[in-house]
Amino acid sequence: MVDQLAIDPDATEAALVDQLAAMSRATSSIAAAQAQVTALLQAKRKAREDAEHVPASQRGKGLATEIGLARQASPWHGARYLKMSRILVDDMPHTMAALAGGMLTEHRAMIITGHAECLSPENRRALDAELCADPAKLEGKGDKKIHADAGRIAFRLDSDAVLAAMSRHQCDRTVTVRPAPYGMAYVTALLTAAEACAVQQALQQDAADAAAESIASGGGLGSRGQLLADAFYRRTTGRDVGAAVPITINLVLSDESLLAQGTEPAILDGYGPIPAAVARQMIWATVVDPDTDAAVRRLYANPATGNLVAMESRARAFPKGLKWLIKLRDQTCRTPYCDAPIRHIDHVNPHAAHGATSARNGQGLCERCNYTKEQPGWQTRTIYDQYGRHTTEVITPTGRTYRSTAPPTPTGARVLTSDIHVVRIHAA
């Protein structure tokens, strides 16, 4: 393993390609070992909780979050990884061997276990043998081919189980937004296969109509991808591309970025940092659009640290204004690596333990993480990092510590002014 990591500057191109392939195989081998470690961890946790007579409803609580933290992944991914690891270790020896031998990547092994999840252990082993007993059959297959092969075998083995799983997963339909570089974002819709195909066909027709109209009028023609994206935007918002946004959004920016030509990035709530010039364009667009309006609310930041000035309440529940401030400060769930939308504003040090209802002792969490921190063995405390930024430390039942630091305000640790503005752009 160590020899594979040693890089020879004088190596030939062919040798470097071989080394890269060997490193990829080693990565798969480590992934196989990680799955075994995960399954063993769950077994040991179960044995200990059984011996301690932990109530059945509480057994295993928080383990998925611990696994996610150890893998630097979200609790959701930790839970998914835990489930897939158990299937892989218990019921799919050939898939495990292919992963350990470097014939499968971790992602492709998880695609296979995902299709096996709804099957009985006996049928899982049958799928495993048919697809992965001969490693040569896996050579050259990408994600889509692995997905198609595993799905086809699973349906043949137990069509009723697959159909039942499809019915259950219809409840998982959702739409999510995540940031992309250069001021772009991904909008992802999880739909049934039929619905997704219908959406694709509708967008393709709209894009074709827009292209024909543009050609007829002598206008420019964007790429196929651009036309599809524009059709998607028009269909979902009912507005033309480039029009001012008639929705409620929060922009957090310094007075210099708002009123002058400052370059410190603004924060678009739900997205993250955007260039100051883009934020100003969004605000000024509301001036000329009768369907939108903008309201400016001033917050204050500590000039030394950039932290939004703390608010405090004597009540147990966080008042609306304090919740708003904490949500703007934290932006996403404060559990390390989680990044899920904030659903709860809660005390770091519990109110029952005399924890204050304050910005310092408050944090934004997703629903899952808020419930996890209440489980036995979990601790959370507030500290401030070397730059004075609000930081929480999460201590797990195994004694491992993880830190989460709130994102900096638009002027970060280099605040030159005490004025931070929040511009709310909303429908008039």
Summarize pLDDT for 348-392 with one digit per residue, the tens.
Answer: 998 888 888 888 889 999 999 999 999 999 999 998 877 778 899
Count each helix (H run) and each strand (E run) in the chain, helices first: 15, 14
Alpha carbon distance 321, 230 (integer Å): 37
Question: pLDDT value at position 45?
Answer: 96
**CA angle, corner 211, sides to 209 and 214, nearest 5?**
110
Alpha carbon distance 272, 259 (integer Å): 20
If asked whether residues 161 and 15 sit together in one domain, one would say: yes
422 is a domain residue: no
pTM for this entry: 0.80
If asked whether residues 62 and 143 sit together in one domain, one would say: yes
Residues 6+ apart with CB under 8 A from 8: 15
If asked whether residues 52 and 96 sit together in one domain, one would say: yes
Question: pLDDT value at position 270?
Answer: 73
The H-or-E segment that residue 174 falls in is strand 174-180
Q: Pick the closest to residue 392 from 422, 355, 357, 349 (CA basis).
A: 349
Question: pLDDT value at position 428?
Answer: 47
421 is a domain residue: no
If asked whether residues 121 and 195 sit together in one domain, one would say: no
Please give the structure tokens belonging to residue 155.
């349906």
425 is a domain residue: no
If asked whether residues 215 and 324 sit together in one domain, one would say: no
Residues counted in the chain:
428
419 is a domain residue: no
Asked if 65 and 370 count as a contact pair (C-beta separation under 8 A), the reply is no
**CA angle, corner 169, sides to 163 and 171, nearest 5?**
130
- Please say which residue of 145, 169, 193 terminates a domain: 169
Name residue 424's beta-bridge partners.
250, 295
Exposed/middle/buried for residue 236 (C-beta within 10 Å: 0-12, 13-18, 19+): exposed
211 is a domain residue: yes
Q: What is the pLDDT of residues 241-273, one digit of tens each?
A: 877 665 556 666 666 666 667 677 777 777 777
If asked whether residues 114 and 263 sit together in one domain, one would say: no
44 is a domain residue: yes
43 is a domain residue: yes
Q: Which range marks the domain in which residue 209 is found?
A: 175-237
Alpha carbon distance 27, 24 (integer Å): 5
Question: pLDDT value at position 293?
Answer: 58
- Please say which residue of 237, 259, 278 terminates a domain: 237
Q: How many domains does the chain have?
A: 4
If asked whether residues 183 and 226 sit together in one domain, one would say: yes
If asked whether residues 7 and 155 sit together in one domain, one would say: yes
If asked whether residues 284 and 336 sit together in one domain, one would say: no
If asked whether residues 39 and 117 sit together in one domain, one would say: yes
Cα–chain center distance at 138: 30
If asked whether residues 138 and 226 sit together in one domain, one would say: no
Please give the structure tokens belonging to residue 41.
């961890």
413 is a domain residue: no
Which regions in the chain score pLDDT beneath 70? 1-4, 219-220, 244-260, 262, 283-316, 409-428
If asked whether residues 151 and 42 sit together in one domain, one would say: yes
Q: What is the pLDDT of residues 184-216, one digit of tens each?
A: 999 999 999 999 999 999 999 998 988 887 777
Cβ count near 123 (within 10 Å): 18
